[in-house]
Structure 1
C-alpha cells in the first residue's frame, strides 16, 4: 500500500543560513509525522541539517541540478524525478523559503487536486502580466520571464505523482523547452501554471481563491488576515520586516 504523502526538502547549498535553519527546524517539528526526505547532490555536507535530526533520509541527484534554483527547476520538470518517489501518492516539495502554519497536509491531499501552489506574487498590479487571455494563445518569452519572477522564493507545492508524470509524458516537447530556457526563472512553476493545462486539462488545479487558502506570499498577510496552510516568500533579507514574524523570536 502506498504512503499518502512524503515531504521533500531540497538542499542546494548545505551551508544554510540562519533563516533557512529556522525554517528547516520548524518544518521538521510541524510535519514530523510524515516521511521527510532531503534531496541534494552526492557528497553534500549535511552536518548542519543533522544537528536538527541525526537520522535523516537523503536521496541524491546529479550535482548539476543543485547549482542554482533555476537548475533545480529542470529537475522538477523530469519524469525520472517523480518516478523516484512512486511509492507514495503525493509529494509536498518544501524549500527553505516557506513556513507551514499548521498541519493540514492530510486535508489538502484529500481535496482531489493534482497540483497546489501559492499564486505568483507581484509587488504591484503594473508588474503583473495579464495571463488570463493568453493561457490558451501562449505568452511571449518576455511575458514568461515576467511571470516567472512572481514565483521568487515561492518554493512550496503539493502534487499527485502519477498525474505529474503523465503530464510530462504528454508534454515532453514543451517540458524540454522549459528545461532549456536559460533566461526563464522558476521555469517549473511557469510550466505547471501556464503550460500543463493549455489546450487540455492535464491536471486538476484549484481556483486562485483555493490556492490562497493553501499557501500565500507572506508579504500579503496582514495582522487580522486568516492564515493559510503555509506561507511563502520568506528570505533572510525580509524575515525581520514581515509582520507574521515580528511577534516571534529573532531568526538571526
Structure 2
C-alpha cells in the first residue's frame, strides 16, 4: 500500500545558514509523522542536518543538479525524479525557505488537486501573464522570466506524482526546452504556464484556495486565517516578518 505523502527536503549547500537551520528544525518537528527524505548530491556532508536528526533518509542525485536553484529546476522537470518516489501518492517539496504553520498536510492531499503552490510575488505590481488568452498563445521570453522571478524563494509545493509524470510525458518537448533554457525557477514557470496549456493535465486550485494553502512571506495577511504554510523566507527578511515576531521565544 502506498504512502499518502512523503516530504522531500532538497539540500543545495550542506552548510546551511542559521535561518535555514531554524526552518529545518521546525519542519522535522511539525511533519515528523510523515516520511521525510533529504535530496542532495553524492558526498554531501550533512553533519549539520544530522545534528537535528541522526537517522535521516537521504537520496542522492548527480551533483550537477545542485550547483544552484536554477540547476535544481532541471531535476524537478525530469520524469525519473518523480518516478523515483512512486511508493508515495504525493510529494511535498519543502525547500528551506518555507515554514509550516500547522499540520494540514493530510487535508490538502485529500482535496482532489494535483499541484498546489503559493502564487508568485511581483512586489505589488500587476501580475504578469494573468491574461488567459495571452497564456494560451504563449508568453514572450521576458514575460516568462518575470514570472520566474516572481517565484524566487517560493520553495514549497504539493504534487500528485502520477499526474506530474504523465504531464512531463505529454509535454516532453516543452519540458526539454525549459530544462535547457535559462529561465529563473524554470520548473515553477513550466508548471504555471505549460502544464495546462491546451489541455488540463493537472487539477489546480483557484487563487483563493491557493491562499489557504500557502502565501509568500512578503504578502502574508495576518488579519485573516493563516494558511497551511509560508514561503519566501530568507536570512535577509526573517527578522522583519511580523509572523516571526509574534512567535514564542521557544520557536
TM-score, normalised via structure 1 length: 0.96
Distance in 2 of aligned mates of 1:105 and 1:248: 21
Aligned to 2:35: 35
Distance in 2 of aligned mates of 1:23 and 1:48: 13
Aligned to 1:85: 85
Distance in 2 of aligned mates of 1:67 and 1:223: 35
Aligned to 1:146: 146
Distance in 2 of aligned mates of 1:124 and 1:117: 19
Describe the superposition over 1:142-177 as per-residue Cα deviations: whole angstroms up to 9, x where unpaired.
000011111010000000000000000000000000
Structure 1 counterpart SS, 2:59:
strand
Please state if 1:12 is matched with 2:9.
no
Aligned to 2:203: 204
Distance in 2 of aligned mates of 1:60 and 1:80: 13
Contact 1:91–1:161 (CA under 8 A) maintained in structure 2: yes
Please state if 1:23 is matched with 2:38.
no
Distance in 2 of aligned mates of 1:60 and 1:221: 34
Pair 34,188 (structure 1): closer, same or farther in 2 beyond 3 Å: same
TM superposition shift of 1:222: 3.5
Please state if 1:168 is matched with 2:174.
no
Contact 2:129–2:135 (CA under 8 A) maintained in structure 1: no
Distance in 2 of aligned mates of 1:207 and 1:41: 36
Distance in 2 of aligned mates of 1:175 and 1:235: 29
Structure 1 counterpart SS, 2:81:
helix
Structure 1 counterpart SS, 2:157:
strand
Distance in 2 of aligned mates of 1:157 and 1:135: 22
Pair 250,75 (structure 1): closer, same or farther in 2 beyond 3 Å: farther
Distance in 2 of aligned mates of 1:143 and 1:223: 30
Q: How does 1:4-153 map to 2 (within 5 A)?
A: 4-126=4-126, 128-132=127-131, 133-153=133-153
Moved over 4 A (4+): none
Distance in 2 of aligned mates of 1:223 and 1:188: 29
TM-score, normalised via structure 2 length: 0.97
TM superposition shift of 1:250: 7.5
> What's the C-alpha RMSD, in Å, of the aligned pairs?
1.2
Structure 2 counterpart SS, 1:53:
coil
Structure 2 counterpart SS, 1:125:
coil
| Paired residue total | 249
TM superposition shift of 1:249: 6.2
Contact 2:129–2:139 (CA under 8 A) maintained in structure 1: no
Contact 2:152–2:232 (CA under 8 A) maintained in structure 1: yes
Unaligned runs of 5+ in 2: none
Distance in 1 of aligned mates of 2:40 and 2:249: 28
Describe the superposition over 1:202-238 as per-residue Cα deviations: whole angstroms up to 9, x where unpaired.
0011111111110000121244221000001100000
Distance in 2 of aligned mates of 1:27 and 1:162: 25
Structure 2 counterpart SS, 1:37:
strand
Aligned to 1:239: 238
